[in-house]
A and B are shown apart, each in its own frame.
Chain A
Amino acid sequence: MSYRGYEAVIGIEIHVQLSTQSKIFSADSTSFEAGDNENTSPISVGMPGSLPVVNKKAVEYSIKTGLALGCDIRRKSVFARKNYFYPDLPKGYQISQYDQPLCENGSVTFKVDGVEKTVSITRAHMEEDAGKSNHHGDYTLINYNRAGIPLLEVVSGPDIRSPAEAAEYARTIRQIVRYLDVCDGNLEEGSLRCDCNVSVRKMGDPNFGTKVEIKNINSFRFVEKAIEFEIERQIDAVERGEKIIQETRLWDPDKNRTFSMRTKEDAQDYRYFPDPDLLPLTVSEAMIEQYRKELPELPIARAKRFQEEHALPEYDATVLTTEKDLADYYEETAKESNNFKASSNWVMTEILRELKEANKSIKDSPVRPKQLGQMIAMIDKGAISGKIAKTVFQEMWQTGKEPAVIVKEKGLVQISDPGAIEKIVEEVLAANTKNVEEYKLGKKAVFGFFVGAVMKASKGQANPELVNKILQEKLK
């Protein structure tokens, strides 16, 4: 995409917080609700003599993510120390992976405005989080609950060319880690943090421009806005003949702009070296095969299957696979109803609308997929009309009762007995002789009035198709 004759080159680093019960190198809890410094032990605050031991679950989650991103998994990766001083870094170094990361050379494919885009994944490496500094005017308090939280840093290649692509890339990564159930993807709680590297160059220029890093953006909308701002800012600067300074910037959501945090002159020499307290992380073939087998069907493959096997339109398939739980819900409904498109319609309209209004997640839906499927099957069998179904659905949503029970209790069964309908039709026609005459004189519009009257008389339970058919016969 061209911006005033320039092209944007964007790469994104996403810190994925792995949703393990304990920290990456200690048994300390990772719960978000804990009180200040409650989730700490001598290990996570780096007390003298304490040593790290790798959390197996964090390794499993990292490998699964790597596999889902099509990465090669290193059979022997190495934890390194990244040395720097900051009060919220308890040991004076962060344990991370440096020249031998666990996952490398993957890619992810997604669609932006209907066009397919593939972004390469350079690497995904394991590391520990630091604590959190809380600045209060002239003093600072530090909460080490975050120190040692396991992170997987997913680093993309410089393949992204627009803010929309950047946001969609980030959404796709979030979608994948949520599918894998290795991260809750909660941006507000910092479970997913995006750093964007942005540079601009003249269209066609093979060389990269100087890149600027925008750190810690906490929403996908801001990713888009921050990059948009940054592209314009950098082009303006280049056009004015200024040099772009390699620096780290932050996004100010109130002012809709990025601002400088530190320049490269302040850049640290991290003095990386292999952590002598941790042996190289070795991963066996058996482990990889095991984890590969445990991988769920990923969103893109699942959407494709829904289109092929369920004959769903692309739009439906995409919406239904945005989240694993939603796709599971749809699939269970469809299995019960045996009507794919009707199941898709009900889930996408009624269920999603009610959930949104009630601010609930699909997992908490009071209507279970099996119940919804049964109800759809009842429509197909003619047991209830589409209109009655709406009433049944509302009742299910309120009470959680089985659809058959609701229909029975409320007497909502559709009348499909032609004799019974004929009787009602005859009664209606007898009571409206004037209208019958008008109809016979050619005022065909009155037909609708008869249908309405029959439905009313049957309390909406008459099978509308039969009503139509019988009315037409009687009015001949």
Chain B
Amino acid sequence: MDLTFASISDIAEAVQNKKVSAKEVAEHFAKRIATLDEKLNSFTTKNDQAIKDAEALDTRIAKGENVGPLAGVPFGIKEMFCTKGLKTTAGSKILENFVPPYDATVVARLKAAGIVVMGKLNQDEFAMGSSNETSFHGPTKNPWKLDCVPGGSSGGSAAAQAARLVAGTLGTDTGGSIRQPASFCGIVGVKPTYGRVSRYGIIAYASSLDQAGPMVSSVKDAALTMEVISGFDSFDSTTTQRPVPAWSKNLKSDVKGMKIGLMKEYMSGSLHPDVQKTVENSIETLKKMGAEIVEVSVPMSEFAVPVYYLIAASEASSNLARYDGVKYGHRAEFKNLSAVELETFYGKTRGEGFGKEVKRRIMLGTYCLSSGYYDAYYNKAGQVRRLIMNEYLEAFKKCDVILSPVTTAPAFKIGERISDPLTMYLNDIFTTSTNLAGLPGMSVPFGLSQENLPIGIQLTASHFEEQKMLDVAFALESASPVKGKNPHVI
């Protein structure tokens, strides 16, 4: 069995049936990480215990224990997730040496399902960025083209997965942070319905938008991983009590009679010709498979990017207040601490600990929430958000799944946009409205640019209708022109 390209389900089955040991699997991927990650900078912390953890699994399997549906599958976890005993920095200096005493609920569930944590993956600082260039650990490179960004904020997860340094990864998506890097790196990334997956133990960026999801190599792997991480968590009041469907088992590539919505607003913008072509190809493919294409409209999505940045920055300004140097993380050095005024202490600690982009958003958010501005900004943004959601609900009366591009263009060059935050923010134009409306969304690879960079297709479904979205993705995957194509770096 070729472990490098094996699917999550294949590895789990082989380990469970003792065709390969979890230890061998872990060793194989540990070796790939050791030799290839130097080029990518996708790992921030490697788990020194990974091989031992795998051995422990083998012992349990030898005893006849069922160690779970993801037995021995090597995973990489985005820095945003707290991992017990394993450094978790959220890509920030302010959490430089933070080792959580607990696992995020999703990590705990994956571990209970038998995964082996290979290490932590790079990301934009506190998930603020679309290129992985704002990380305190330095930028991650796109394995398809090393001078390009892998996207962000889950760029480390996307790059590690695309280069097959692990068999599965976890990312978080606040405004497109799973879908955009998945598209840039040619993998499958799913952002589930808000409330489907527990946020407990995920370092908060914007609480009302954040949602965790799988970033993997196939639609089926995504469905399998989602089954493990989804479901009610008594530690997160925003999780749903709804049962978790058997997505992977129900998966079908038959889209005959399904209605695929094309959003008028998405198609009228200026798209890179290669992206345009990929979208057109996907539509043609679905038509041929018997799907019906209908036009839908979400006019308010025009305001999605500003509304997203107002809400996300506001919540972030509050969520990041706890990093003050008092209890953990970075603390500025002072010659005589006792003589320092509290505000000076906070100012210096936070001034040193946070990067430029994070500071920009804290300032923006603090301003939006200030008395006198709250109604004009945060409150108004909340109202528009509601309108966007209502328009989506109307649109989903006409179609099952909405198809759109993920981004306007394939991956851009490192350094190309970092000094221009507004252009950078517009990267998220196709992805943010999904988060504002709390809808599930995903990216599935369907094309390659002339420069050999991957291009994904975005699928969005109504609340808790992940199955429809996964089915369409499964159909597209089966007919994808990029099937079996991998980045040259591996």
Contact = CB atoms under 8 A, between A and B. Distances in A.
Interface of A: 42, 45-54, 81, 83, 85-87, 90-93, 138-139, 142, 269, 271-273, 276-279
Contacts of B199: 49, 51, 277
Nearest to A46: B322
A137 B95 CA distance: 30
A271 B318 contact: yes
Nearest to B204: A49
29 contacts: A42-B102, A47-B82, A47-B102, A48-B90, A48-B95, A48-B100, A48-B322, A49-B200, A49-B203, A49-B204, A53-B235, A53-B236, A83-B317, A85-B321, A85-B342, A85-B346, A90-B327, A91-B321, A138-B338, A139-B337, A269-B370, A271-B318, A271-B370, A271-B371, A273-B318, A273-B369, A276-B208, A277-B236, A277-B237
**Nearest 6 Cβ contacts at the A-B interface:** A92-B321, A138-B338, A276-B208, A271-B369, A276-B207, A49-B201
Contacts of B318: 81, 83, 92-93, 271, 273
A51 B322 contact: no
A277 B237 CA distance: 7
Contacts, number: 103
B267 to A, nearest CB: 32
Contacts of B234: 53
A51 B200 contact: yes
Contacts of B378: 273
Nearest to A142: B326
B436 to A, nearest CB: 13
A173 B349 CA distance: 44
A279 B90 CA distance: 26
- Give the one of B95, B199, B206 with max A CB within 10 A: B199
Interface of B: 81-82, 88, 90, 95, 98, 100-102, 104, 199-204, 206-208, 234-238, 314-315, 317-318, 320-322, 324, 326-328, 337-339, 342-343, 346, 366, 369-371, 374, 378
Given A51-B199, A271-B370, 5 more contacts: A49-B82, A83-B369, A92-B322, A277-B199, A277-B204
A283 to B, nearest CB: 15
Contacts of A81: 318
- Give the one of B88, B208, B237, B374 with max A CB within 10 A: B237
Nearest to B314: A273
Nearest to B372: A269
Contacts of A273: 314, 318, 369, 374, 378
Nearest to A25: B237
Contacts of A272: 369, 374
Contacts of B200: 49-51
A18 B314 CA distance: 31
B69 to A, nearest CB: 25
Nearest to B325: A87
Contacts of B339: 138
Given A48-B88, A50-B201, A92-B324, A277 B369 contact: no
A51 B371 contact: no
A144 B423 CA distance: 44
Contact of A90 (B204, B208, B322, B366): B322
A278 B204 CA distance: 14
B237 A53 contact: yes
A126 B322 CA distance: 22
Contacts of A92: 318, 320-322, 324
A49 B104 contact: yes
Contacts of A279: 237-238
A139 B336 CA distance: 11
Contacts of B88: 48
A177 to B, nearest CB: 27
Contacts of B95: 48
- Give the one of B88, B200, B317, B337 with max A CB within 10 A: B200
Nearest to B98: A48
Contacts of A90: 322, 327
B136 to A, nearest CB: 15
Contacts of B322: 46, 48, 90-92
Given A83-B318, A91-B322, A273-B378, A51 B237 contact: yes
Contacts of A45: 327
- What DSSP secondary structure best describes chain B's contact surface? loop
B331 to A, nearest CB: 12
Nearest to A48: B203
Contacts of A278: 237-238
A277 B371 contact: no
Nearest to B378: A273
Contacts of B202: 49
A48 B82 contact: yes
Contacts of A269: 370-371
Given A49-B100, A49-B203, A138-B338, A87 B326 contact: yes
B100 to A, nearest CB: 7
A211 to B, nearest CB: 19
A92 B81 CA distance: 21
A440 B25 CA distance: 123
- Give the one of A49, A81, A91, A139 with max B CB within 10 A: A49
A425 B337 CA distance: 92
Contacts of A277: 199, 204, 207, 236-238
B236 A51 contact: yes
Given A83-B369, A92-B322, A271-B366, A52 B104 contact: no
A51 B198 CA distance: 10
A10 B237 CA distance: 39
Contacts of A47: 82, 100-102, 328
Nearest to B367: A271
A46 B104 CA distance: 14
B198 to A, nearest CB: 9
Contacts of A52: 237
A49 B79 CA distance: 12
Contacts of B337: 139
B387 to A, nearest CB: 18
A94 B384 CA distance: 27
A278 B314 CA distance: 16
Contacts of B328: 47
A344 B324 CA distance: 60
Contacts of A85: 321, 324, 342-343, 346
Contacts of A42: 100-102
A83 B100 CA distance: 24
Contacts of A87: 324, 326, 342
A278 to B, nearest CB: 6
Given A42-B102, A279-B237, A271 B203 contact: no
A91 B204 CA distance: 12
B334 to A, nearest CB: 13
A90 B370 CA distance: 21
Contacts of A142: 326
Contacts of B327: 45-46, 90
A302 to B, nearest CB: 39
Contact of B321 (A51, A53, A83): A83
Contacts of A48: 82, 88, 90, 95, 98, 100, 203-204, 322
B244 to A, nearest CB: 20
A42 B82 CA distance: 11
Contacts of B342: 85-87
A31 to B, nearest CB: 22
Contacts of B101: 42, 47
Contacts of B207: 276-277
B321 A93 contact: yes
A53 B105 CA distance: 14
B338 A139 contact: yes
A55 to B, nearest CB: 11
Contacts of A86: 342
Nearest to A52: B237
A87 to B, nearest CB: 5
A52 B201 CA distance: 11
Contacts of B206: 276
B237 A54 contact: yes
